[in-house]
A and B are shown apart, each in its own frame.
Chain A
Amino acid sequence: MSSGKGGELIPSSSELDLDRPNIEDYLPSGSSIHEPLGKLRLCDLLDISPTLTEAAGAIVDDSFTQCFKSNPPEPWNWNVYLFPLWCCGVVIRYLILFPVRVIVLTVGWIIFLSCFIPVHLLLKGHDKLQKNMERALVELICSFFVASWTGVINYHGPRPSMRPKQVFVANHTSMIDFIILEQMSSFAVIMQKHPGWVGLLQSTILESVGCIWFNRTEAKDRETVTKKLREHSQGVDNNPLLIFPEGTCVNNQYSVMFKKGAFELGCTICPIAIKYNKIFVDAFWNSRKQSFTMHLLQLMTSWAVVCDVWYLEPQNLRPDETPIEFAERVRDIISVRAGLKKVPWDGYLKYSRPSPKHREQKQQSFAESVLRRLEEN
């Protein structure tokens, strides 16, 4: 954290502070009010144009809002012969594909529930067998989900192995990220507890693969969650943890800053990069605009969900690295592989205001330049 300039930085109580490296490195020049030389005159005090320019620049365009913008695909059906073709496509998708997919999904659920419930209730004594069967069943239902959107997923890289002290991290675009990864190998995930039918699923089925819940809005929650994470990662028999360090869904063109929680558990980090191809549908779940149900319906009425998943080389904390630097390094690896642009913002700024620390840094540097120039004669 930057501390090199003169007076004391007033510590802020916001937890968000601890997670980020020096933002000044990323913000465009002009992030510190520029320091002219020479004696302080009235025009220097009254000239607030640099600050105003920064504000206007932020109003006109800013990198944070870009991360959550869903870019609708260009309409291609505006032609005389393309339009009927598109109409045929709509008919096929909504009236043929969609019902078929719903049937496939229903069949999948029936099979799953008819196996899962007995296994869950009857095999209570045989822990190992029960766990293995439940894992296999969860992988099965995820495959059914993927089939219900005709998921075309290319997996690259070695399949993750079940070893203790191993944590997987991935970039986050939608809740289907979890389903896509879970179908290949069983992960335990850490998720925000959702309301509705998703919440029901979370508390029943996902419990069996060993999930950890957190509540974004509770401040103390963070400590309990960190403790649970640590316990889980040390356990030999637990599913490997899958964490989305961005903390929120981003539109698959940018990546926001990673929270350091996953990187201070003392485990090996295995990065996974996920990139969706927007050719048929944009898989970004814009939680501000759609509910998860609507999002799933949108996926089920499009031709296919195409994506690439890369399992990347495991990384360890280097001796001279802090967890924040480690998180940034892993973010870099994932962003390069998935073709994402990095932005220096915390994903949680979607829900809250930035901490006063950044404004205070600007104020401090301006104040110091004023006082310094005042003393020149």
Chain B
Amino acid sequence: MGNTSSMLTQYDIEEVQQHCNNAFSQQEIVSLYERFCQLDRNGGGFVSGEEFLSVPEFAVNPLSQRLLRMLDGLNFKEFVAFLSAFSPRATVQQKIEFIFKVYDSDGNGKVTFNDMLDVLHDLTGQFISEQQREVDLILEMPLFTDCKQVLTKVLEEAGYNKESLLIMSDFVKILGSSGLKMEVEVPVD
């Protein structure tokens, strides 16, 4: 596929469509290509981390660094495959797989306690560990001020523990029943 040309041939479009399992229509792929070229300012055929971070809406997202690790250096075909989990045509299984990949930073198919802790830290910043909450004296509720404690408690209630290594099927079991809403609309002219 031409990296520097800004024209997609019909053959290119079909190849991309196949690669992403028909998650996007041909028109959407053309739109995504325009967007990809717009982001790829230096025309290198891939969008660098810096170029993604120049989109302010992306830069303020708590998970931007994690996503950058997955996005950095992708060419257009891989870019579309990355976004395919967000298509309305994607199955719940595909969406859960994507979420699993976000957690599984070393890509070994197992999500550890530390992986989950890292994501929780990304999402909550310093607002859990530094927050001083008053103990509810009447109900004598325990004082949770730490991400580790929160995660451990919730894991144990679900039947896991700190040493558990979660795999894909665990994620499917945990997330499969909650209505997972993860869709993005590709603007088409």
Contact = CB atoms under 8 A, between A and B. Distances in A.
B182 A53 contact: yes
Given A41-B157, A56-B86, 13 more contacts: A7-B127, A40-B154, A42-B157, A52-B67, A52-B86, A53-B182, A55-B63, A56-B182, A58-B61, A60-B86, A353-B59, A363-B125, A363-B126
Nearest to B187: A61
B64 A41 contact: no
B32 A49 contact: no
A370 B182 CA distance: 20
Interface in A68-99: 69
B55 A51 contact: no
25 contacts: A27-B57, A42-B154, A46-B103, A46-B171, A46-B175, A47-B99, A47-B178, A51-B62, A52-B63, A52-B67, A54-B57, A56-B83, A61-B187, A65-B39, A349-B56, A353-B59, A359-B61, A366-B62, A366-B123, A367-B127, A371-B128, A371-B131, A371-B133, A371-B150, A375-B144
Dominant secondary structure of chain B at its interface with chain A: helix
Interface of B: 32, 35, 38-39, 41, 52-53, 55-64, 67, 71, 83, 86, 95, 98-99, 102-103, 116, 119-120, 123-128, 130-131, 133, 136, 141, 144, 150-151, 153-155, 157-158, 160, 171, 174-175, 177-178, 180-187
B182 A359 contact: no
A62 interface: yes
Interface string A23-59: 0000100000100000011111111111111111111
A371 B123 CA distance: 13
Top 5 A-B pairs, shortest CB-CB distance: A363-B125, A367-B127, A58-B57, A42-B158, A367-B124
A367 B128 contact: yes
Given A42-B154, A57-B184, A368-B127, A49 B99 contact: yes
Contacts of B174: 42-43, 46
Given A46-B175, A367-B131, A375 B141 contact: yes
A47 B136 CA distance: 28
Given A47-B178, A48-B63, A52-B98, A60 B125 contact: no
Given A53-B183, A360-B125, A45 B154 contact: yes
Contact of B102 (A6, A45, A52, A370): A52
B127 A53 contact: no
B187 A370 contact: no
Contact of A53 (B150, B160, B181): B181
Nearest to B149: A374
B60 to A, nearest CB: 4
Contacts of A367: 123-125, 127-128, 131
A286 to B, nearest CB: 11
A336 B174 CA distance: 50
A362 B123 CA distance: 8
A62 B125 contact: no
Contacts of B133: 371
A86 B27 CA distance: 30
Contacts of B71: 59
A228 interface: no
Contacts of A194: none
